[in-house]
Amino acid sequence: MEAYFLLPSKARTVSLVKNSALLRVCVYTDCLRLEPGSTISGHALIMEADCLKALMGIDTLSSIRGAFLLTMVDNANNNVQSGVLLALKGSEVVTIDVKASKGLLESGHIYLDVRTVEEYEKGHVNAENIFNIPYMFNTPEGRVKNPNFLKEVSAVCKEEDHIVVGCQSGVRSLYATADLLSAGFKDVSDMGGGYLAWKENVFPVKIEKEQKVEL
């Protein structure tokens, strides 16, 4: 079982203590990979509540095995930061940074943008082989998972295709990648940091619809 600690802070690198060994891990815009019960150097992770699937609006996500509210406590300064621990089931999700993703896309990998159509049209990764298939839709009640996501991906991609999945900041793509791997796709990677990280690195983008400026 894998676990990810969702943080509200921006990308940074921290030290993760695991089995008495100090490891370096990369925290993307919104997720840090952890093992359940791990601690971050100088902090303690405390489980505070039962499964929060309904509260988070992710109860329909088949890749989520459990979601728990955590508080990260700075033992030195008594600072508290809340987040959510997601326990994923299924195949191993490989998250790569945008530079590695760019190299894969230039070598012919498919880029699967799982953001909404509206987000996609405002700007997206400029890749030769690209598909926009939303993983979630925006509704008056909040975001809901696209019930036909796997079917729509299967209509344009084969299980043996090399795919890089991206979204706006790296959350939806993480879930989508887990679902695709569980569905039998062989080579699917999650682009950490998403489109925001891509733009921060000043990589080429394409805008489908120019936004109108009201005077």
Strand partners, 129: none
The answer to whether residue 167 is catalytic is yes
CA atoms of 199 and 124, how far apart (whole Å): 9
CA atoms of 197 and 168, how far apart (whole Å): 9
Backbone phi and psi for residue 41, each to the nearest 5 degrees, phi listed first: -50, 120
3-state secondary structure of 79: coil
Residue of 26, 31, 51, 167 with catalytic role: 167
CA atoms of 27 and 16, how far apart (whole Å): 10
CA atoms of 77 and 183, how far apart (whole Å): 45
3-state secondary structure of 139: strand
Residues 6+ apart with CB under 8 A from 182: 62, 63, 89, 90, 91
* Active-site residue set: 167
